[in-house]
Structure 1
Amino acid sequence: MDKNMELLLLKIDEKLEKQAEKITHSVNINVMEILDEKLKTITEENNILKNKVSELERKLKSVDREKRKNNLVLFGLEETGKSEGELIDYIKELISDTGVCLDSHEINSINVKEDYSKEILEKRKQLQPQLEEEKKKGNIAYIKYDKLIVLNPKNNNREKRKRETSDSPKSSALKKTTKHQTVTFQKTYDCIGKSEKFPQRLVPAGSIDHYPLTARRHKTLNIATLNSRTLRTEESLHELEKALEDINWDILGISEMRRLGEKIEERTDYILFQKGEVPGQGVGFIIKQSLKQQIHELIGLSDRIAILNIVIPGYKKLWTIIQCYSPTEQASKIESQLFYHELSKTITRYSNNHIILMGDFNAQVGAKQCKEEYVLGNYGQGKRSAHGEVLVEFLLQHNLTLLNSMYKKNQKNRWTWISPDGSTKNEIEYITTNYPKAFTDTSVIAKFNFNTNHRMVRSKINIEPPKKSRKYFSPCNIKHHSKETIKKIKQSLIQSTEELTTSNTDTNVKYGKLENILTNVKVKQIRAKKVNINLVIQPYNS
């Protein structure tokens, strides 16, 4: 019986083991099938992503090849200039000698590399981490050919000893006396006080210079205008921020911002104001944070006109800065007339203030054509367009001086717009004002690292207002006229002014006629008679 029970138990164990194997096998097969199904989807997605990445890499390589086709590789050039701008000018001169026209805006970047073999370039790459470690330690380190050179920093505080030349005994005795004299002077000067500086001029020992020499510096405020072409994205705005770090500016008026809506944004370094109604246009201002307290108001009239009322230190009146963007010459006459009508309204509204009108006028003013154009300076250049005639009449109407023509500049540094093909260059951005005495300079910034085909125009305002000259009338030069002559002058002037008001002519013609009338009026001058008084002194007879 015992043997039979043992056999039964063995058979039951075998059956159980077989059943367990079958169950595990079936479970494994089911699990593997499920995993295979899931892995298939993952592998398929992975293959799709790999194909996309390979396509993108291929496209990037093709784009890189296309870009490299536009590159010019020049070997064996000597670096004559220290800055990148000087290097660009040097390369432009070399290329222009070959007969090829090239402008600085067509040069995106310059990479200067030395000519080494592949083995030396690999060694230099391996030495780069060691170079950075040595610089972090404070040592002077640089790579020369294929070796790392490390130098300890010199102690600048260490005094350099000078070797004294050997002279005769008499000269050495004289030296001793001069040394003694200098020591006594230092001792007498020390009694004045350590906080006081050494006098700039020669004064007696122990005394103070009561009238020290002071260098007077004129503080100026930089106001500029720029057509940015677009500031729609944050990337373009960040690019403008980086470009502005290299120049002096305080207030910047912008045309073609292409940012919709009216908004004031306060950022870390500046305040941004924008006004845009139609996509593709828009004007605004960028003002430094240091002038935040001086801002009176910011107004956006339209996507072509924006106003900034600001208090400039040293001036009693407010300054009204108007940034505008005029219609192009391809626009209709009605559009340009509406623009100038709205602009004249704003100027008459703020006529009591000091006005600055600036922006992109899309007009070529050119040189001064006659004396009547007193709002233009003597340094204008070029021809005048139809829009330029309209602008000159507008400036004469509102007594606004064109600051671009008031200062003598090189012809290369006058144009503010260049065509996409680089064939034409025109001056279409201007800064005008009704108070030109406050300005010290107006110039075009040629080197401005920003992606636009326009140049920035910048004017400098003297913070200290100009002194008013006192008029002096000498009593001997005063001319006396009779009542009859004064009546005749009044009658002739009244008749001439009535004729001018009734005639429909331009302001330039009216001004010329009035000047001729005043010069042709003949007045009989009656000179004041001089009375001579002779004093006769007789001797006293006792």
Structure 2
Amino acid sequence: MTKKFRVSFVAVYAPVEPTDGDTSDSDEFYLQLQEQIDRVPGRNMVFLLGNFNAQVGRNRDRWYPSLGKFGIGKENSNGYRLLHFCRYKNLVITNTVFDHKIAHKLTWFLTDSKTTNLIDYVIVNRRLARSIQHTREVLYSSAVIDVKSKDHHLIMPRVNLELKFQGNYLPGSYNACRIKNENLRETFQEQLNTKLESLKFDNVEDGWNYFRKKICEVVDGVLRKKVRTPLGEETCTRIF
């Protein structure tokens, strides 16, 4: 907590992937998680931390902006639930944002050390995403949470919370007033028309995901308010 803003932390332990098709535990989990997030004041920044028992895969085109460019593995049903929840609540899975070695992304190991997965995550709201400088696993035995089984390894995010609110705008928010500028308005329309020329899809969901992605790309380029950030342009591109 600082004088400028507050940060809320939610510790998570999600049900395992159902093997019998019974999703009642997952339904109850995400209902409770949504209730917890809804209780957080709107101006707060949010961290979701813990074992989600979910594999989110690497289909960034479908799940942008909640999923970064560097996911691993294949999406499972728990992963689908998590990704859908993150997109609905405007959250970013920071483990997938940064291009670390695979060994620095895996968080769960069986005792044989051959079966591995990424199922533990650091998830933040997009408002906070620009302050995350990296998220990676800590490999050393001293950082293992469960010393007996050594199945889960600690995840370490590096966070820079030196943020300031400027006027009525949040860091990285859109300045919609700029659309009143005739030149910017024409640029926006031209870029949007170009992006949507090749709009083709096999189903409504794919079409919506593609349309939403292209809208975000144009808005990011034309309307995003320029603010100072401790991150370089490369890191910002990874997130957005």
Indicate conservation of the 8 Å contact 1:438/1:466, yes or no. Answer: no
Instruction: Give, in whole Å, the separation in 2 of the partners of 1:374 and 1:476.
Output: 29
Q: Partner residue of 1:462?
A: 160
Instruction: Give, in whole Å, the separation in 1 of the partners of 2:106 and 2:185.
Output: 50
Matches within 5 A, 1:502-513: 508-509=205-206, 511-512=208-209
Q: TM-score, normalised by structure 2?
A: 0.66
Indicate conservation of the 8 Å contact 1:437/1:466, yes or no. Answer: no
Within the candidate set 85, 93, 115, 1:424 is matched to 115
Q: Partner residue of 1:448?
A: 141
**Residue 99 of structure 2 aligns to which amino acid in structure 1?**
K
**Residue 412 of structure 1 aligns to which amino acid in structure 2?**
A
Q: TM-score, normalised by structure 1?
A: 0.31
Q: Partner residue of 1:88?
A: none
Indicate conservation of the 8 Å contact 1:325/1:361, yes or no. Answer: yes
RMSD: 3.1
Q: Deviations for 1:315-337, whole angstroms, at most 9, x for unmatched residues?
A: 52221100010011147310111
The 3 A distance-change label for structure 1 pair 403 and 363 is same
Q: Give 1:369 deviation, angstroms.
A: 4.3
The 3 A distance-change label for structure 1 pair 456 and 477 is same
Indicate conservation of the 8 Å contact 1:444/1:457, yes or no. Answer: yes
Q: Partner residue of 2:72?
A: 381
Instruction: Give, in whole Å, the separation in 1 of the partners of 2:206 and 2:111.
Output: 39
Partner of 2:130: helix, strand, or coil? helix
Moved over 2 A (4+): 420-423, 466-476, 508-516
Matches within 5 A, 1:175-324: 311=1, 313=2, 316-324=4-12
Indicate conservation of the 8 Å contact 2:60/2:67, yes or no. Answer: no
Structure of greater Rg: 1
Indicate conservation of the 8 Å contact 1:414/1:427, yes or no. Answer: yes
Within the candidate set 413, 416, 419, 2:104 is matched to 413
Q: Give 1:414 deviation, angstroms.
A: 1.2
The 3 A distance-change label for structure 1 pair 455 and 479 is closer
Q: Give 1:395 deviation, angstroms.
A: 0.5
Query: Does residue 355 of structure 1 match 2:40?
Result: no
**Residue 183 of structure 2 aligns to which amino acid in structure 1?**
N
Q: Give 1:373 deviation, angstroms.
A: 2.5
The 3 A distance-change label for structure 1 pair 345 and 477 is same
Q: Can you give the 5+ residue segments of structure 2 that lack an aligned partner in the other structure?
A: 166-170, 187-202, 216-240
Instruction: Give, in whole Å, the separation in 2 of the partners of 1:479 and 1:418.
Output: 52
Instruction: Give, in whole Å, the separation in 1 of the partners of 2:114 and 2:185.
Output: 60
Partner of 2:79: helix, strand, or coil? helix
Q: Give 1:478 deviation, angstroms.
A: 4.9
Q: Partner residue of 1:477?
A: 183
Q: Which has the higher contact order (CA 8 A, sep 6+)?
A: 2
Q: Partner residue of 1:171?
A: none
Partner of 2:36: helix, strand, or coil? helix
Q: Can you give the 5+ residue segments of structure 1 that lack an aligned partner in the other structure?
A: 1-310, 481-504, 519-542
Q: Deviations for 1:203-247, whole angstroms, at most 9, x for unmatched residues?
A: xxxxxxxxxxxxxxxxxxxxxxxxxxxxxxxxxxxxxxxxxxxxx
Instruction: Give, in whole Å, the separation in 1 of the partners of 2:185 and 2:28.
Output: 49
Indicate conservation of the 8 Å contact 2:60/2:68, yes or no. Answer: no
The 3 A distance-change label for structure 1 pair 458 and 466 is farther
Instruction: Give, in whole Å, the separation in 1 of the partners of 2:93 and 2:106.
Output: 15
Indicate conservation of the 8 Å contact 1:395/1:401, yes or no. Answer: yes
Partner of 2:141: helix, strand, or coil? coil
Instruction: Give, in whole Å, the separation in 1 of the partners of 2:152 and 2:162.
Output: 31
Indicate conservation of the 8 Å contact 1:379/1:406, yes or no. Answer: yes
Q: Give 1:379 deviation, angstroms.
A: 1.2
**Residue 415 of structure 1 aligns to which amino acid in structure 2?**
L
Indicate conservation of the 8 Å contact 1:372/1:511, yes or no. Answer: no
Q: Partner residue of 1:396?
A: 87
Count of residues in Structure 1 that have an aligned counterpart in Structure 2: 181
**Residue 133 of structure 2 aligns to which amino acid in structure 1?**
T
Query: Does residue 338 of structure 1 match 2:28?
Result: yes
Q: Give 1:475 deviation, angstroms.
A: 4.7
Q: Deviations for 1:478-509, whole angstroms, at most 9, x for unmatched residues?
A: 558xxxxxxxxxxxxxxxxxxxxxxxx99x55
Q: Partner residue of 1:231?
A: none
Instruction: Give, in whole Å, the separation in 2 of the partners of 1:422 and 1:478.
Output: 55
Partner of 1:370: helix, strand, or coil? helix
**Residue 329 of structure 1 aligns to which amino acid in structure 2?**
E
Instruction: Give, in whole Å, the separation in 1 of the partners of 2:113 and 2:15.
Output: 22
Q: Give 1:418 deviation, angstroms.
A: 0.8
Indicate conservation of the 8 Å contact 1:442/1:459, yes or no. Answer: yes
Instruction: Give, in whole Å, the separation in 2 of the partners of 1:390 and 1:445.
Output: 26
